[in-house]
Amino acid sequence: MSVHPNCQLIDQIVSDKGFPGRVRMLPEAATTAKSAAAQLGVEVGAIANSLIFRTADDAPVLVMTSGAHRVDTDKVAVLIGTEIGRADAEFVRRHTGQPIGGVAPVGHPQPIQTLIDTDLRQFPELWAAGGIPHAIFPLTFDQLVALTGGRVAEVA
């Protein structure tokens, strides 16, 4: 089975940073944190969800949040200084090159403003999507911050 180009790109970015985690394939697509956690045998909170939102001026914002809770969009809007709303599948793919359910924290055509949930800090190992819904990779909170250049904030 050949590896999807998105997964190859994410794996290369992670490798270039010198991080040990590598993209691996799950037996089933994990389009939710609950599904990914169940397949990995980890707490749902250790899943670093990559959620893309659309700002009032049509720019993407990536919120890396713990799978254990929902993003407070009003709180995020205050943090970034503009209203945000849901992004549809076409918007997400256009700005990330990846499908909803498989959006990695990196590997996008252009850099995306990123916020990282402070609650992710409590887990010694996190799991993030690897570019498609079947792909996932491990990393630490500090590696996630270094990888994305994201701003750590309370987003829930």
Over 60: is that where the pLDDT of 90 sits?
yes
Q: For 68-81, how does the pLDDT look when each residue is reduced to its tens digit (9 = 90+)?
A: 999 999 999 999 99
CA dist 153 to 12, 72, 76, 115, 117, Å? Answer: 27, 12, 9, 6, 5
Tell me, what's the pLDDT at 1? Answer: 54
Report phi then psi at 134, rounded to 5: -90, -5
What DSSP string describes 78-114? HHHTS-EEE--HHHHHHHHSS-TT---SS--SS--EE
Q: Count other Cβ atoms within 10 Å, centred on residue 145.
A: 19
Q: What angle do CA 7, 11, 12 make, to 5 degrees?
A: 120
Q: How far apart are CA 57 and CA 94, in angstroms?
A: 16
Using DSSP's 3-state secondary structure scheme, residue 31 falls into coil
Query: What number is the average pLDDT over the span 54-75?
Result: 96
Buried b (16+ CB within 10 A) or exposed e, 39-69: bbebebbbbbbbbbbbbeeeebbbbbbbbbe
The predicted-structure confidence for 11-26, as pLDDT tens digits, reads as follows: 999 999 999 999 999 9
Domain map (residue ranges) of the chain: 3-151
Structure tokens that stand for 21 in this block: 């985690």
CATH topology of domain 3-151: YbaK protein (3.90.960)
Query: Given a cut of 70, is residue 102 above it in pLDDT?
Result: yes
